[in-house]
Structure 1
Amino acid sequence: MKTRLLTALLFCASTLLAQKSDTLQITSENINTKVLREGTNRYLVYFKMKKDSVRTQTQFWTRTIKRTDYNGKPAIEITQEWEDKDSIMHIVKSISDATTMQPLYHKTWWNVQTSRTSTTKSINSTIVDFLSKTVDHNGKILSNADTAIQSKRIWDGYKSSLDKYYLNWHLDLETFPLLPYRKGATFVVPFYDPGTASNFQKVAYTVTGSAELIGYDDKKIDCWLLVHESKGNKEVFWISKKTKEVLKLEQEIGGRAYRYKIRLGFSN
């Protein structure tokens, strides 16, 4: 009996140790930027208020990856263009180090409604230059002296990222392909979303297993399932094991709404 109890305790201890050791803090040493494929990808993005309800708030996201040079060093440039039902609502240009994926430059432009009931559009633009350590919001260079709520939050968010290694959260669909996938692994990703009020944070994503998506000509696509959960939010990403691309996101928000991102196979 004692031998069995000791064996059981040792098994539990080894299991817990294995689980703990399979949590990986993401750094520049354990990402692989070589897997990024140059070219243009397009995603269909929409909401459902219930799983069986009609699709609403439909958008198309066009994302283009290009290898280039920036300030004389190899870099990866990613541009984004988001379309809603009748206009361009968001344009982004992001440049990152070609090896570490550390952000070097990030420019965003938004054209959005000021409220759900208003037809008035609000233009917002932000440029974060990580080499010169400047943040330009709507044509004004931010500093510690700024007291306007939005400007102060954007500046404080930028300061929270200083002297740290992080990845650009606005490029999550291009970041997830870089990770070293294996079943049961939890990746703790250092993220910062430049030009927003979000602070630097470390976010956990767990590889819960595998699943298949059915593509064109009934082709089965073997995928990793990458899951992130926080209060009132659950995200499940399907990442192709072959190409490492994000093919699908299903997000459950508070049990009341669902958001989807679907990688389109063909588009104009």
Structure 2
Amino acid sequence: MLLTIVVYGQAQDTIRVGHRFKQFENLELGTVTDIVYNEYSGKLNGSLKTRTTEMVELNGKDYIKITHTWRSPNAQSSGRFEYYCEPYTLKPVQHIRYTDSKGKEAFRFTEQLISGLDSASENQQADFKLVLTEPTYNWEIDLETYALIPMSKGKKVVMSFYHPGSSTKPDFYTLEVTGTESIKLANGKAMECWVIFTDYHGTQPTKFWYTKVGQNFVKMEGEYKGMKIYKTRLY
């Protein structure tokens, strides 16, 4: 369902879980690699992340499977997750995360509840339960989700997101397409991009760049409590 509401005095589209994205074809299948790093007090920390998106069939039903793997010199900062959601809507179904620091964390999503996935062995979140007032999108695939929103200068959308297992409750966040920008890639070529801005309720001003053609993720720049955060796709 796509509704229009008035927030902070401006009209914005609220995209709720279950909405069929008209731009679903912009979901980029295959594998891409990003470099993810942050800068704080003159020190840099980084990792390489591969993101694989594919269509799969399980028990006669089609799903989108999104796998992220990030590798860092610090093993405690490395990890992997597998996420399943419904085609066209990205409605969450199942999320399994593996990290050295926390082990396996597996979650099941319904419209009313996020809970520990009982079929997953050695699940460190087996007893997890979060009752929902309404379904929410998955923060961990924000780059893939943003690629599907309608983009035009001045366009604003409001969406609910939640990081599975987090103590921060699901909430609605505003994304604004502030305009376009031509950026130069490492190979010297210029690329025309849409620019999206969100400030996560005033805590983390962040910009995202997506290609004008296909709306594929290119880079992200943000800041949180003095720490600069960057994500850049490797071409």
Task: Tell me if TM exceeds 0.5.
Answer: yes
Paired AA for residue 135 in structure 1: G
| Per-residue deviation, 1:210 | 1.0
Distance in 1 between residues matched to 2:30 and 2:47, nearest whole Å: 20
Q: Distance in 1 between matches of 2:115 and 2:205?
A: 34
Matches of 1:94 and 1:167 in 2, distance apart?
12
SS of the equivalent of 2:180 reads strand
Aligned mate of 1:38, from 10, 29, 42: 29
SS of the counterpart of 1:233? coil
In structure 2, what is the Cα distance between the partners aligned to 1:249 and 1:37? Answer: 17
Q: CA deviation at 1:196?
A: 2.6
CA contact (8 A) 2:125 2:165 kept: no
- Counterpart selection for 1:105 from 86, 94, 118: 94
1:245 matched to 2:216? yes
Q: TM-score, normalised by structure 2?
A: 0.83
Superposition deviation, residue 89 in structure 1 = 1.4
Q: Any idea what the Cα deviations from partners look like across 1:113-164, whole Å, max 9, x if unmatched?
A: xxxxxxxxx3332111236964149536745xxxxxxxxxx52xx323x6x2
Which residue, 96, 116, 131 being the options, matches 1:135? 116
Q: Report the TM-score, using the length of structure 1 for normalisation.
A: 0.74
Specify the SS of the correspondent of 1:179. coil
Provide the residue aligned with 1:66 in structure 2. Answer: 54
Over 3 Å counting, the alpha-carbon distance change for 1:72 and 1:219 in structure 2 is same
Give the whole-Å Cα distance in 2 for the aligned partners of 1:140 and 1:237.
33
- Contact (CA 8 Å) 2:37, 2:47: kept in 1 or not? yes
The one-letter code sitting in structure 2 at the alignment partner of 1:128 is F
- Displacement of 1:35: 1.4
**Mean CA deviation greater in 24-33 or 38-47:** 24-33
Q: Aligned match of 1:234 in 198, 205, 221? A: 205
CA deviations over 1:235-263 (Å, ceiling 9, x no partner): 00011111211111100223x22110000
Taking only the aligned residue pairs, the percentage that are identical comes to 24
Residue ranges of structure 1 left out of the alignment (5+ in a row): 1-15, 112-121, 144-153
Is the 1:227–1:237 Cα contact (8 Å) retained in structure 2? yes
The answer (yes or no) to whether the contact 1:30–1:179 under 8 Å persists in 2 is no
Q: Would you say 1:123 and 2:111 are equivalent positions? A: no
Aligned with 2:79 (options 85, 90, 106): 90
Q: Per residue, is there more strand in 1 or in 2?
A: 2
- Note if 1:171 corresponds to 2:159: no
| Residue matched to 1:192 | 162
* Structure 2 residue ranges without an equivalent (≥5): 1-5
Structure with greater Cα Rg:
1
Q: Which amino acid aligns with 1:129?
A: R
